[in-house]
């Protein structure tokens, strides 16, 4: 743990992201070997506060299996839906989420910031 009890350091955060992304890369390799269609979503830009930063990845395959997180649970469901469309079309897609406007979501999830996510099919 970091200097403050119960808080993790930037270095520890980087290690966590690296481990999670490794699981995503393993899932990509597995999908390619098995012939399953899949997509990967990557956080490419964050403005303001966000639970996850640039480089966070999420894998979604055609059976709707998800690996990895790109937010604190606020975006995963919507991104999985977008990923299914990318899997079908083969066309990459970029989506911008303005989570500062939490009232739009109506869920009060407390997911601040603006996040841009790039979704691409892996084959």
**SS3 of 60, please?**
strand
Give the phi and the psi of residue 108 in degrees, each rounded to 5: 60, 40
**Tens digit of each residue's pLDDT (9 = 90 or more) over 69-107:** 898 788 899 999 999 999 999 999 999 998 766 545 555
Q: Are 119 and 41 in contact (CB under 8 A)?
A: yes
In a domain? residue 1: no
71: three-class secondary structure by DSSP: coil
Domain assignment of residue 2, yes or no = no
Q: What is the pTM of this model?
A: 0.79
CA angle 80, 85, 61 (to 5 degrees): 50
Structural domains of the chain, count: 1
Structural domain containing residue 92? 10-122
Is residue 82 one of the residues assigned to a domain?
yes
């Amino acid at each position: 743990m970091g200097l403050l009890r119960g808080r993790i350091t930037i270095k520890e955060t980087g290690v966590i992201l690296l481990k999670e992304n490794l699981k995503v890369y393993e899932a990509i390799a597995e999908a390619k070997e098995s012939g399953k269609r899949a997509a990967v979503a990557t956080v490419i830009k964050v403005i303001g506060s966000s639970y996850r930063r640039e480089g966070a990845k999420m894998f979604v395959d055609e059976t709707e299996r998800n690996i990895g997180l790109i937010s604190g649970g606020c975006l995963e469901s919507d991104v999985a839906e977008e990923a299914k469309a990318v899997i079908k079309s083969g066309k990459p897609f970029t989506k911008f989420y303005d989570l500062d406007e939490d009232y739009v979501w109506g869920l009060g999830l407390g997911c601040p910031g603006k996040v841009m996510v790039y979704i691409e099919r892996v084959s």
